[in-house]
A and B are shown apart, each in its own frame.
Chain A
Amino acid sequence: MLKAINLSKAYSVGSLGKEKFYAVDNVNFEIQEREIVSLIGESGSGKTTIGKLILRLTKPTSGKIVFNDLDITMLKSLKEYYKHVQGIFQDPFSSYNPIFKVDRVFDMVREEFYPSESVNSWKDKVNGVIESIGLNPKEVLGKFPHQLSGGQLQRLLIARALLMETKFLVADEIISMLDASTRIDILNILVKLKERGLSVLFITHDLSLGYYISDKTIILYRGSIMEYGETEKIFNNSAHPYTKMLLNSIPSLHQKWSNTDVSLSGRSAPVGYCKFYDRCPLGDERCKNIELRKVEENHFAACKNV
């Protein structure tokens, strides 16, 4: 349904912008219908940039994104695309204009995308989607953003995305600003929507959330994919040293950390080498030009030892 092919995004850095910094470096993946794929990486790994590229908030330096056989990389008119592909972001408060009531985000969708729809039938539609994500329209409509909680605002943004014929949702750290006791409810909404046919790119830095919700997992490090495949296989039979180190470091409530050492992030890997080279216990001169290799069915890792 959505494919990223050799996708790269470089920013110019250094004096006069001579040097290139690759936030996303030659990334390939594919997301099917009715699939939740989690994109896991630390801050600065390029996961948000990938989300922005898919939403065309920024254009790639090279490579392309194909949505239902349509190359959207250089697409001029995006309106039709945005009817099907929508995004939700980390901070629900900043998605609303604080001087307007929350209803405005719904009205703007109608004005922008469905001007021919009558106000009344639109109202019914809005009430319908708000109910479908577990809120009472009477309790939330007509309120200002500061009168609602972060969880309610975030749910309304999901509702807004669903007002269109949305088939694909980019969800970028959508629960990291919410209270721990209400986070899981938002995840459960995504699961429900998936069962109704939605595909989701779930961007997170939290491995346990990714494991809870996703069918497939992408492990990203410094702009490159380290490991990619079915979630169960990645977590239970991980092949890349970086994934293994992450899994070893997850704090769990009933199991103490093992005694294995973690190396802190160093400076950066030399050009052409695996991005994890400088921290990897197995790093040597063979770690050059490593592409994703097949570990087993639906499970790939970019490591020489595969």
Chain B
Amino acid sequence: MLEVEGLKLYYKTLKGHVKAVDDVSFDVNDGELLGLAGESGCGKSTLGNGLILLKPPMNYFGGKVQLDHTQLPIDDFERMNDFRFSKLSIIPQYAMDALNPTRKIGVYIREVLQSRGIDPESIMDKLLERLKFVNLPERVLKMYPIELSGGMKQRMVMVISTLLNPSLLIADEVTSALDVSSQKAVCLMIKGFKDAGIVKSLIFITHDISVLYQIADRIMIMYAGKVAEIGKTQQIASNPVHPYTKMLMSSLPEIGIRYTHGILSGIPGQPPQLLNPPTGCRFKERCPLRGKECDEEPPVVNVEEGHIAYCWKVTQNA
């Protein structure tokens, strides 16, 4: 179980702080897959990386992160080594390039395990079982990364990331380079890690809400470094309340929608600069419902059980 409270992660630049994750609070329960969605630059990858590998130019500016009721020292790079890989792990966005090209994959895994003080032999059976779990033949261990296809490398990284049964797994844009059929297979595989009890909770980061609808238990929408809305998957899909979520969802074409049946429209304007962002709601410049109060920090509104939104214009039980 992961609890995040008031987390602030800023990038230090010469001009000032880029507030990529600004006062973000959420939690992920045991046995739960939380989907994290937003456009490029909304801070979703910063959040995922910040939880596990916080290093300059990214800086910690406050907030509390607890994993299974133990506080994570995310701002202490050295002390986090006690948690990385064993308690929380990540499948990075660049998973296909994450393997060491000069080592056979079996040798590489051995080295990674030894670096954590784990005897590789003690884990061999588990490794072979996991390879089967993701449909990879045993002989890949004797191969170099270059001999594997992109999809195979990615599945290999999935196996390595979860080898020590971490409590929390973060999957960052793992399917963005795949076609829809491979995307489906990989998504179901990752969900399978949770369903099989290999990992307890999962954060699945993507820009594609419709992928989250397939696999997530709850969905969190971010905009410009802030949380816009969190709710159960069904609540977000059928009753989005934040103006940003609503507009984003209506600008996505789905199969069955053609321009001849009616032109879809995007959201006018662009996301704000996160260096000196505007005060108050960060969506206000593009929001059709903007009012005076939007210059103040938006309140968190309990829309219904398990469904919250940060917006002045949302009312309870809307």
Q: Say how far B221's CB is from chain A's closest CB, in angstroms.
A: 12
Q: Give the residue of A185, A248, A252 whose beta carbon is less than 8 angstroms from that of B210.
A: A252
Contact indicator per residue, chain B 164-190, by CB within 8 Å of chain A (1) or not (0): 000000000000011111111101100
Chain B interface residues (CB < 8 Å from chain A): 39-41, 135, 149, 151, 177-185, 187-188, 207-211, 213-214, 237-238, 247-249, 251-259, 263-267, 270-271
Within 8 A of B (CB), among A176-215: 179-185, 187-188, 191, 205, 207-209, 211-213
| B contact face: mostly helix, strand, loop, or mixed | loop
- How far is it, in angstroms, between the C-alpha of A188 and the C-alpha of B253 when the chains are bound? 12
A257 touches B214 (CB 8 A): yes
Q: Give the residue of A149, A182, A191, A264 whose beta carbon is less than 8 angstroms from that of B135.
A: A264
Q: Which residues of A contact B252 (CB under 8 A)?
A: 180, 184, 208, 253
Q: Which residue of A lies closest to B257 (CB)?
A: A212
Quick one: given A184-B251, A184-B253, are A249 and B267 in contact (CB under 8 Å)? no
Closest 9 CB pairs of A and B: A42-B179, A181-B267, A212-B253, A249-B184, A251-B210, A249-B180, A185-B266, A249-B181, A179-B39
- How far is it, in angstroms, between the C-alpha of A247 and the C-alpha of B179 when the chains are bound? 11
- Give 11 A-B contacts (CB < 8 Å), ordered by A residue: A42-B178, A42-B182, A43-B179, A184-B251, A208-B252, A208-B257, A248-B181, A249-B183, A250-B180, A252-B255, A262-B185
Q: Which residue of A lies closest to B136 (CB)?
A: A264
A180 touches B181 (CB 8 A): no
Quick one: given A42-B179, A208-B257, are A253 and B266 in contact (CB under 8 Å)? no
Q: Which residues of B contact A262 (CB under 8 A)?
A: 181-182, 184-185
Contact indicator per residue, chain A 111-148, by CB within 8 Å of chain B (1) or not (0): 00000000000000000000000000000000000000
Q: Which residues of B contact A235 (CB under 8 A)?
A: 255
Q: Give the residue of A185, A208, A231 whose beta carbon is less than 8 angstroms from that of B265.
A: A185
Q: Which residues of A contact B179 (CB under 8 A)?
A: 41-43, 205, 246
A184 touches B265 (CB 8 A): yes
